[in-house]
Amino acid sequence: MAEPDWRQHWQPMIDNIGKQFDDSPAVFSADVVERSAIRRYLEPLEFDCPLHYDVDVARAHGYRDVLLPNSAIPTFSYAPMWQPGETIFTSDKRNAPPAKTAVAGFRAPIEPETSAFFATNYDADYLLPVCAGDRLSRRGSRLLDCKPKETRVGRGAFITWESDVVNQDFEVVARLQTTFFRYNPHVGGDA
Domains, in order of start, for the chain: 6-189 (3.10.129.10)
Question: Which residues 6+ apart lie within 8 Å of 190 measured at CB?
Answer: none
pLDDT attached to residue 3: 57
Separation CA 28–CA 63 (nearest Å): 22
Each residue's pLDDT tens digit in the chain (191 positions)? Answer: 555 689 999 999 999 999 999 888 888 888 899 999 999 999 999 989 999 999 999 999 999 999 999 999 988 988 777 888 888 888 888 877 777 777 777 889 999 999 889 999 999 999 999 999 999 999 999 999 999 999 999 999 999 999 999 999 999 999 999 999 999 999 875 44
CA distances from 78 to 73, 103, 141, 186 (A): 9, 8, 14, 32
Under DSSP, the state recorded for 142 is: E
pLDDT attached to residue 185: 94
> What would you report as the CA-atom Rg of the chain, rounded to the nearest whole angstrom?
20
Strands laid side by side in the 27-28 sheet: 27-28, 137-150, 154-166, 172-185, 116-126
**SS3 for 133?**
coil
Whole-model pTM?
A: 0.84
Q: 81, 99, 82: which is closest to 91 by C-alpha?
A: 99
